[in-house]
A and B are shown apart, each in its own frame.
Chain A
């Protein structure tokens, strides 16, 4: 009797674990279904021709390879030159960066200024604050553009951002950072697709829902009022200064607008190890943001929309995605071992929902930037991972993998074989993260040249990101040092 009760209780617990896997699916579906509403709920109706005096602050630490061409590019912006000043904050560079900036200051007198920090290496936020303190010293600056040294603005991008400042409620505008490496490889193409899904697609949804999660670090424009309201400086206490700036702006009742047509090209990592370092920094920053703003989550406010259930769902389902996947797999495996009828039904329901959502996300998202999606069509198709696609096919088309495909080779799965296959399918997701980690570990070995890309195509780029997020949990639990690691830039962006 007691055993029966315990078994029922265990079954309910396992059902609950499986259900955690549905949360990210629901959140993603909800977000992407909001995208077409951007046709009606957008900020263009409040936009108007506005050309404030813009101070551009560029943090630069050993950026000799990119800084000269970035400044040249900014000087070709379709924006009145007398309303533009570029302040390059040289963070005690040890390469040719200072000489290049000084040469550009001579070439563009009154437009380019060289600021030098004697003590460098403290991180981007400290470097930015040096420049911000300078531009706040007089009244010239009406808007501040924060950008990275390597990014390349399309000529109309700044103009497309400033037009939103016609609405006094707007505090900041973010542009679309598009992957723009000239020498693309499989990883930069995956990053390109990821940026399409997360910016012109997902951030349009955030425009609709009224809360933006993060201003792009390489292209964020603030009004002077907003900058002063958030303290006249960028937060230096965490690795997520862009997210904190975004939250602080919205917490004070100002809007943050994403402008999908202001396009900025950026160089992204072409190696898993460099990507891992960059994303680990972002993920650990998000841990501190989640903790710092613990009092706003799921608490709706009249001032901002960061406390709405929809925004909280989006935030936490991304942050806790690896945990949800692991718990869901444990639940499915447990139900299978308990010989519960629910296992197959739940697996099918969960993965059919995931497959439909994935297909919708990729089909809609890829249309929001046909250029990147067209060049990276293989990465669009294999974005979930080839093995994950097989798992989805298993759920979506019953008997295809179990019966028809083995039948093509004259094979028939035994009951034992079917059980092993089912176990493999149920526990695949946590293991996909392990294989993504292996892709990183072997990348610099002779076999990694072939094996790492193959593994990423098989397990999926999403599994790689989940593995990095999982690593951030481990680093946080171990209280590992959270230090600023600059992503190396080599001037690969070809505008």
Chain B
């Protein structure tokens, strides 16, 4: 394998590794997303308690 090919492979590996780390961090978005969903449910429950209890 030539030096150029080695270099290309190293670059590809680094790029893929960076993508994995980025995708891993991206999963943390699920926590605020779940909190937003819970908040929507919470608003409904509050409306019920305030206006329809």
Considering residues B12, B33, B41, B45, which has the most beta carbons from chain A within 10 angstroms of its beta carbon? Answer: B33
Shortest Cβ distance from residue B5 to the other chain A in the assembled complex, whole angstroms: 11
- Contact, CB under 8 Å: A49 / B52: no
Does A163 lie within 8 Å of B20, measured CB to CB?
A: yes
Docked complex Cα distance between A168 and B39 (Å): 40
B9-53 vs A, Cβ < 8 Å mask (1 yes, 0 no): 000110011011101101111110110111011001101100110
CA distance A355 to B47 in the complex (A): 14
Q: Mark A343-377, 1 if CB is under 8 A from B, else 0.
A: 00000000000011001100110011000000000
Could you say which interface size class chain A belongs to?
Answer: 20 to 34
Contacts of A364 in B (CB 8 A): 33-34, 36-37
Smallest distance from the beta carbon of B30 to chain A beta carbons, Å?
A: 5
Cα A419 to Cα B7 with chains together (Å): 78
Q: Are A36 and B52 closer than 8 Å at their CB atoms?
A: no
Question: Given that A39-B28, A44-B23, A363-B37 are contacting pairs, would A396 and B48 also be in contact in the complex, using a CB cutoff of 8 Å?
Answer: yes
How far does the Cβ of B52 sit from chain A's closest Cβ, in whole Å? 4
A35-54 contacts to B (CB < 8 Å):
35-36, 38-39, 42, 44-45, 47-49, 51
- Classify chain B's interface size: 20 to 34
Check B33 against A367 for contact (C-beta < 8 Å): yes
A152-177 CB contacts (< 8 Å) to partner B = 156, 159-160, 163
| Interface set of B (CB-CB < 8 Å, partner A) | 12-13, 16-17, 19-21, 23-24, 26-31, 33-34, 36-38, 40-41, 44-45, 47-48, 51-52
Report B-chain residues with C-beta under 8 Å of the C-beta of A163: 16, 20
Specify which chain A residues have a CB less than 8 angstroms from the CB of B23 in the assembled complex. 44, 160, 261
Bound form: Cα–Cα A359–B39 in Å:
10
Q: Per a CB cutoff under 8 Å, which of B16, B21, B33 touches A159?
A: B16
Task: Decide yes or no whether A399 CB sits under 8 A from chain B.
Answer: yes
A400 near B33: Cβ-Cβ < 8 Å: no
CA of A159 to CA of B40, assembled, Å: 36
Task: Name the residue on A nearest B43 (C-beta).
Answer: A359
Give the CA-CA distance A359 to B24 in the complex, in Å: 27
Contacts of A261 in B (CB 8 A): 23, 26
List of B residues within 8 angstroms of A36 by Cβ: 30-31, 33-34
Assembly CA distance A438 to B41 (angstroms): 33
Instruction: Name the CB-closest residue of A to B33.
Output: A367
- CB proximity to B under 8 Å, residues A116-173: 156, 159-160, 163
A316 at the interface (CB under 8 A from B): no
**Is the CB–CB distance between A368 and B52 below 8 Å?**
no
Chain A residue numbers with a CB within 8 Å of B16 are: 49, 159, 163
Q: Are B44 and A47 in contact (CB under 8 A)?
A: no
CB A78 to nearest CB in B, in angstroms, measures 10
Q: Which residues of chain B have C-beta atoms less than 8 A from A33's C-beta?
A: 34
